[in-house]
Chains A and B, each alone.
Chain A
Amino acid sequence: MTLLWLLLLPIVGGLLAWVSGKTGTQLPRWISVLALALVFGLTLQVWFQYYSEIDIFTEQAWLIEFERDWIPQLGISFYLALDGLSLLLIALTAFLGLISVVVSWKEIQYRVGFFHFNLLWILAGIIGVFIALDLFLFFFFWEMMLIPMYFLIIIWGHEDKRYAAIKFFLFTQASGLMMLVAILALYFVHGNATGVYTFNYNDLLGTDISASVAMWIMLGFFIAFGVKLPAVPVHTWLPDAHTQAPTAGSVVLAGLLLKTGAYGLIRFVVPLFPEAATQFAFIAMILGVVSILYGAKLAFAQTDFKRLVAYTSVSHMGFVLLGIFAWNDLALQGAVVVIIAHGLSTGALFILAGGIQERIHTRDMDRMGGMWSTVPRMGTVAMFFAMASLGLPGLGNFVGEFLVLIGTFMENILLTVIAAVGIVAATIYSIWIIQRIFHGEPRETWEMPDLNIREMVVMVAMMLALLWIGLYPKPILNTAKPALDILQRGVEEVRMVEQTPVPDPRNEMQIFMSINQLHKSDH
């Protein structure tokens, strides 16, 4: 039932917020805060309750499950399940969701009820994606979050919102349908082989698919997740959508929506198609490296603050892609940490960009400069998150990117070296932000108030979270580890079967695996 509540709270909260919008602007906000606080509280409660169980090496994949028949004729069930990975992502969703409501407190004054309805339904869709383990249900939530996001951009967005919203929608919808076709193909392949037609993830794992078919089906999934992530060359919707969305929309897009793509890769692409994913890994890793460098390069060509931050997202998510397809302990853990840390740091930068725009009605960095003396608190906060973004040790992003690079190093040295250049590039664009906005001679004089208490509370909360991940990432790594281990073991089993029956000790792969096994038995 806990899982159902995680979904119902934002859904019902959203409806209430919409209806209460008639009474004024305050009630929808408080309803949203309450609903999301409950979701967050519930997540934390689950986390504390199961932390001791998660901590140990477990065979049991799911912490909590919830299953009901939905359309049994087609093998569709309402199957929700939660493991450590989903738990972390849901905690992030609730946290950033709360923050989005708070940062919209002053910014959104138009149709407040409907705004919060859309926001909460996006969050419901995202939570659904993280816990749906029936592929049809997963697709259902995957598509469900698009329409409210579209509304969020097109109603409350900035000057070029129509173009951005439609582009966002077409990209995600077209790629989503590709995934649906892939899901159906998998459904029939599994059904024809076993006689059981089902969309249940656990049953579909380990489906015996011929190599060429598996590659096609995997590509269907990969396209959908790659667009969301986003990976170059299908990233072009992202800068537009992020720039034009209202602050809360940008936070949710960068902090959560992109993560659904990463989650999909970890949960579905590699475990469902281990061999195809192995064959494809090199290309995917190249795409990751290209995203890192290309995103970083474009980032410092921007003069629009939000657009700059949007391109840094492309760059950071490149690390996630790289880490996932390296597919070993360290790289995966790193990817998970990047997912969380990037959600916080980029979210905060978007909030700052939104705050500046609210005050001076421009995002153009050519018109800023020398603002530190006017708004010292904002400058300090921006400095902190810029440092986080460039990967300063002691903050979350460093831990994640470092782990990804070590993990990737074990798989491919050359790509790691090139990817590491991305960190240097990140340093340049992050310092660049501070330099252009807060330092130097003011190009225009702006009268503006510094961050108020509400904004400071949000910022401090995000800073603390990043510091926590940077200094003591163990709880997060521990929570994700069993889930990642189980996913990896499933993949290894399939790969082992594919090996020659007589194990060749000189085989590099074998050695690597035995090391891996040893490592596990240490527990």
Chain B
Amino acid sequence: MSTTDLTALLPFIILAATTLIVVLVISFYRNHFITALLTVIGHAAAIAVLPSLSTITPRQVTPLMIIDDYSLFYIGLLTAASLIVSVLMYSYLQRREAQREEFYALLLIATIGSSALVTSSHFITLFIGLEVLTVSLYGMIAYLFTYDRPLEAGIKYLILAAASSAFLLFGMALIFAETGTMLFAELAEKLAADDDLRTVFILTGTGMMVVGIGFKLAVVPFHMWTPDIYEAAPAPVTAYLATVSKGGMFAILLRYFIELNVYAYETICFVFTVIAILSMFTGNILALLQNNVKRILAYSSIAHLGYILVAFLAGGALAAEAVTFYLVAYFITSLGAFGIVGLLIHNEREPEDVQDYRGLYVHRPWLSAVFTAMMLSLAGIPLTAGFIGKFYVLTAGVGAALWILVIVLVVNSAIGLYYYLRIVITMYSEPEETAAASGSLSQSLSVAGGVVLAFLMIILIWLGVYPEPLIAIIQDIAGRFGS
């Protein structure tokens, strides 16, 4: 392993070192603020080195990992999301009774896992990255184990995630048995060279991998766990689940599909088309029936993954662009929305019911403006990043003439509006003048949380009004990646 290799791995080294420092500091001196600060600094440092690495890309570091612009971009995105979650979690834990500090170690490890995931060029990295992420997530979800619901959610996630990992592993094993390699590049060569290789083994293997991946992405029919766990987990952890966990998986899925040209397999594309359509309809229609904000957001995230799959299925460079842009927009809005739910925690209870937000506009006009912006972005209304994202996805879909998916997407956007607007309008309704209701809305908020939300809001609108710089970066990455 040369120095350049080590340089290429710098983000991982920084994150791992931060984890060690955090753990050591905790064992000698427990202080919530210092731990959180160290975590934030570690994340920031990892992000800061990324631009300088683009001079040495693309670089294959051992057969296991590929550091190219695509992985650098996603490492940056995932780490930034993780950074925001750590700030949100800091505000959140301040208001809860718990051993607070260890959470940050789990968070860092999970982020290392998902960053490793996006650099995979080998099944082993894929699997190890995924497991590192998932195992840390068990801990993060059940972190407030003195409360019943997080603990229950943690165990539920553990059982289901373990089962899905088994599927993934079995799928990989089948493909390995048939081809004799686990390297993406070699797999691609073998599959391209020999049409006879499209055997039952490969198809079954891929099918089983789809189960494992589908679970992580929470797409229909592997979505059952999502609402329960989103609802029960602490809100910032839910944000992490919705963004880092799904985003990392989607990034590697896209890489895998493009490198192996899985698009040539009609059966698999058909399966994903069905998954996309089901996800859009199921997510949106079930979200209509919910009264719990976290459950609404959970179902809406299922639908949004369906939207991303539309762009994903379009294939080609445009698909990579659209997926990446949509993921960025989706990250911002999910972090913002769950962040607000977490910030408004009061008397050991998160404001979960839609009615809890009644009159938010009166008590906290700025916070309601941020929440409104997040909801409108999810709905794809102009001036927000979500609008450009939806436009991009539709562009990819129309460009590839996926008419059925495009029409389904349009119909679902209209359905989705209903529940997003329902949340929005509740905030602007007359407040109920009960002490309990106004208590949760009028309490003082943490400064750090407020700053993070303001930042997310600014980026959201910036990308909605002037997306050109981000599109330039993404096109650069996707252009080289697709070729």
Interface of B, helix, strand, loop or mixed by DSSP: helix
Min CB–CB distance A169 → chain B (angstroms): 6
**Segment at the A interface, from B241-249, B279-287, B417-425:** B417-425
Residues of A within 8 A of B398 (CB): 181, 184-185, 187-188
A74 and B317 alpha carbons, distance in the complex (Å): 13
A184 and B391 alpha carbons, distance in the complex (Å): 9
**Segment at the B interface, from A142-150, A365-373, A449-457:** A142-150
Contact status of A143 and B387, CB under 8 A, knowing A162-B425, A169-B421, A180-B394: yes
Residues of B within 8 A of A141 (CB): 382
Can you name the residue of chain A whose Cβ is closest to the Cβ of B476? A73
Residues of A within 8 A of B468 (CB): 69-73
Residues of B within 8 A of A178 (CB): 410
> Which of B399, B414, B418 touches A188 (beta carbons < 8 Å)?
B399
Contact status of A170 and B414, CB under 8 A, knowing A74-B471, A181-B398: yes
Min CB–CB distance A451 → chain B (angstroms): 31
Can you name the residue of chain B whose Cβ is closest to the Cβ of A70? B468
Is A409 in the interface zone, CB < 8 Å from B? no
Min CB–CB distance B405 → chain A (angstroms): 11
> Which of B383, B406, B466, B472 touches A181 (beta carbons < 8 Å)?
B406
Most chain A beta-carbon contacts within 10 A, residue among B413, B418, B425 = B425
Is A268 in the interface zone, CB < 8 Å from B? no
State whether B421 touches A166 (Cβ < 8 A).
Answer: yes
Can you name the residue of chain B whose Cβ is closest to the Cβ of A151? B428
Residues of B within 8 A of A144 (CB): 381-383
Residues of B within 8 A of A72 (CB): 468
Residues of A within 8 A of B472 (CB): 73
Is B376 in the interface zone, CB < 8 Å from A? yes
Residues of A within 8 A of B407 (CB): 181
Interface flags, B384-410, vs A, CB<8A=1, else 0: 000100010011001100000011001
Residues of A within 8 A of B292 (CB): none
Min CB–CB distance B55 → chain A (angstroms): 24
> Which of B376, B410, B425, B467 touches A154 (beta carbons < 8 Å)?
B425
A184 and B403 alpha carbons, distance in the complex (Å): 12
Enumerate A175-205 residues with CB–CB distance to B below 8 Å: 177-178, 180-181, 184-185, 187-188
State whether B428 touches A177 (Cβ < 8 A).
Answer: no
Is B411 in the interface zone, CB < 8 Å from A? yes
A73 and B472 alpha carbons, distance in the complex (Å): 7
A177 and B398 alpha carbons, distance in the complex (Å): 12
**Number of chain A residues close to chain B: CB under 8 A:** 32
User: Looking at chain B, what size class is its interface with the partner chain?
Assistant: 20 to 34
A460 and B426 alpha carbons, distance in the complex (Å): 40
State whether B410 touches A150 (Cβ < 8 A).
Answer: no
A178 and B381 alpha carbons, distance in the complex (Å): 15
A71 and B473 alpha carbons, distance in the complex (Å): 12
A385 and B132 alpha carbons, distance in the complex (Å): 73
Contact status of A184 and B394, CB under 8 A, knowing A72-B468, A146-B381, A150-B421: yes
State whether B383 touches A155 (Cβ < 8 A).
Answer: no
Residues of B within 8 A of A69 (CB): 468
Min CB–CB distance A389 → chain B (angstroms): 34
> Which of A136, A150, A173, A187 touches B413 (beta carbons < 8 Å)?
A173
Is A174 in the interface zone, CB < 8 Å from B? yes
Is B446 in the interface zone, CB < 8 Å from A? no
A-B pairs with beta carbons under 8 Å apart, 5 shown:
A70-B468, A144-B383, A147-B376, A147-B381, A177-B413
Is B204 in the interface zone, CB < 8 Å from A? no
Residues of B within 8 A of A147 (CB): 376, 381
Min CB–CB distance A197 → chain B (angstroms): 10
Is B355 in the interface zone, CB < 8 Å from A? no
A174 and B409 alpha carbons, distance in the complex (Å): 10
A143 and B414 alpha carbons, distance in the complex (Å): 13
Beyond contacts A74-B471, A154-B425, A184-B394: 4 other A-B pairs, Cβ-Cβ < 8 A, are: A147-B381, A165-B425, A174-B413, A181-B410
Is A468 in the interface zone, CB < 8 Å from B? no
Residues of A within 8 A of B425 (CB): 154, 162, 165
> Which of A140, A150, A169 touches B382 (beta carbons < 8 Å)?
A140
A166 and B391 alpha carbons, distance in the complex (Å): 23
Contact status of A169 and B467, CB under 8 A, knowing A177-B410, A181-B406, A188-B399: no
Is B181 in the interface zone, CB < 8 Å from A? no
State whether B417 touches A136 (Cβ < 8 A).
Answer: no
Min CB–CB distance A365 → chain B (angstroms): 30
Min CB–CB distance B407 → chain A (angstroms): 8
Is B57 in the interface zone, CB < 8 Å from A? no
Min CB–CB distance A403 → chain B (angstroms): 36
State whether A170 touches B471 (Cβ < 8 A).
Answer: no
Enumerate A65-103 residues with CB–CB distance to B below 8 Å: 69-74
State whether A73 touches B475 (Cβ < 8 A).
Answer: yes
A162 and B426 alpha carbons, distance in the complex (Å): 11
Contact status of A173 and B395, CB under 8 A, knowing A144-B383, A154-B425, A155-B428: no
